[in-house]
Chains A and B, each alone.
Chain A
Amino acid sequence: MNPETLLQVQNLSIEFGTSSGRLRALRGIDLEVPKGRIMGLVGESGCGKSTLAYSLSGLLAGNGEVSGGAILFDGADVTKMSDKELRDIRGRRVSMIFQDPMTALNPVITIGRQMLDIQYREPGTNAEKRARAARMLERVGIPDAAAQLGSYPHQFSGGMRQRVCIAMALLTKPDLLIADEPTTALDATLEVQIIELLRELQQEMDCAIVFVSHHLGTVAELCDDVTLMYAGEVVERGSVRDVFHNPAHPYTQALLECDPARMKVATRQLPTIPGMLPNLVDVPQGCIFASRCQHVWERCRSAHPHLSKTATVGHRAACHLLDAEGRT
């Protein structure tokens, strides 16, 4: 493994037991997060991006099960860790921020107390930890930070609460921050603020970030690399510039076309992606996007495409068009 690689997911598959059968939520996921880079994990609802993000820190819903593959964090397999080992990396080496900052904070405990609690492994006296917490709150832009340590989560507005969550997540200087749609619940003008804050903090602390989002614009702005997911598979990955400028997978192309922010001229007929997500209990053979793809040909229905190289280094897409010999 490349020493610069912090997180490597190899052929990961996750299944959920449901009443109608085993739902194959993630299938053969491969991805890599180098140290100190920001990777965007993008896809529409039902693509499995949140499931993947949660599994990175060993958090899976009760009916979920890793059915194959590995998640190597700094060389150690997260899927094989004991609860104790998981607790050791969570919060210290891997932190998370969530979509809803209100549910991520304990409503009956003050911010200061919660920030002390997550430092329980760190050396130093309580006074030092309090000071560190106050500095961190100030850093994320909470006015009058030292006094706010005594406040409860409900005393903050939505945007401020997300700032508090970020402060808590970064307090222990983790190597990896997993951000699950941290700006979706916020208004647009606050979303901008949080994105800028994340970028500044990432540069200061040099941690890697996995940024889960459905919003292409923010991913383009914040991330270095991007991984696109569709129906439980990675369909394309590469640097943000390569992927957004030269999308290689038809799904990526369609998704980018749908983004209304891209359209320079007003139109009454916006592009869409016709069709529906395939059933993941009975996963169709061949390419997972075949039923909605405009460029579908015979091989797409029979053979499952692997992530193939494109013209640029490090940019890969799972599409038969990249290796279209024999296409009629």
Chain B
Amino acid sequence: MGDVATTYKQPSALCIYARQLAQNPMGLMGAILVLIIVGIAVFGPWLAPYDPNQIMIGPRMGPPSAAHWLGTDHLGRDLLSRVIAGGRIAMLVAFVTLGAAMTVGLALGLIAGYGPKWLDNILLLVFDAIRSFPVIVFGLAVVTLIGPSLYTVILVVAITSIPIYARIVRTQTQTLRNAEFILAEKAMGAGTLRILAVHVLPNVLGPLLILASMDVPMVIATEAGLSFLGMGVRPPAPSWGTILNDGYNFIRNSPWPVIAGSAPIILVTIGFTFLGEALRDIFDPKLRRAQ
């Protein structure tokens, strides 16, 4: 091929992703928002000015002030500290739930997509059955069975998310299983496990991560929704949902608790959605060809 003596330095994949993300203003904004939110959640205990459950001597339903940046709630607790602590819970729920849903969904999806037809049919039936329940109704049913708690929320959201991930993985796997490079690996003698782990998995992981990134707000909203209804995180533990619920009862007295509870939900939604869409543009290796 007599390749001209251009020494081609291969930039690392991560480096390319980062550069492309930086070139996409929406994606960059999303990434920064997500970093800030995750950072606050991780370092929350050190950042929060007060104990989120400590009842202050100062004003109740107080407006923002130098001492309480977001004001105080109906019991006189510092709202900023509660929002930060709520963020920790929201992130915990999001990552545990989506991690579990992705892992199980990935495994089931690979089995359905690569395994025998009858197994695929059975799994599809199960997925459809789960998906036919509305999430909140299913959640309420589980709560009445095992009682409200943080773990109930995680369980409900994880179970209802699994079919979505599994279906994506299954479809991707099915298109890949007849691809020529998979046949080539088979012809070289590669076993099923190797084909799935080395050749199928890296190709389905991208779309899965993008979907997960876009699902974070959905999970957080579900958690907030269940907590708002009193079916999720138990008071006095702060969740954005319970902050909203508390504020909602006193909205005539002061708008600040409602604003403090809803603003982070909106920011999380924007951040993860923008990031997810930017990732979708970047992750496809074919779009990277212009490099």
Contacts and interface: CB of A to CB of B under 8 A. Distances in A.
Contacts of B291: 19-20
A276 B4 CA distance: 7
Q: Which of A18, A19, A20, A275 is packed against the most chain B CB atoms within 10 Å?
A: A19
B3 A276 contact: yes
B4 A19 contact: no
Interface string A275-293: 1100000000000000100
Nearest to B2: A274
Contact of B2 (A19, A20, A276): A276
13 contacts: A18-B290, A19-B290, A19-B291, A20-B290, A20-B291, A274-B2, A275-B2, A275-B4, A276-B1, A276-B2, A276-B3, A276-B4, A291-B4
Contacts of A275: 2, 4
Contacts of A19: 290-291
- Tell me the interface secondary structure of chain A in the complex: loop
Interface string B1-44: 11110000000000000000000000000000000000000000
Interface of A: 18-20, 274-276, 291
Interface of B: 1-4, 290-291
A3 B152 CA distance: 83
A253 to B, nearest CB: 18
Contacts of B1: 276
Q: Which of B1, B2, B3, B291 is packed against the most chain A CB atoms within 10 Å?
A: B2
Nearest to A275: B2
Nearest to A21: B290
A20 B23 CA distance: 13
A251 B1 CA distance: 17
Contacts of A18: 290
A274 to B, nearest CB: 4
6 A-B pairs closest in CB distance: A19-B290, A274-B2, A18-B290, A275-B2, A20-B290, A276-B4
B291 to A, nearest CB: 7
Contacts of B4: 275-276, 291
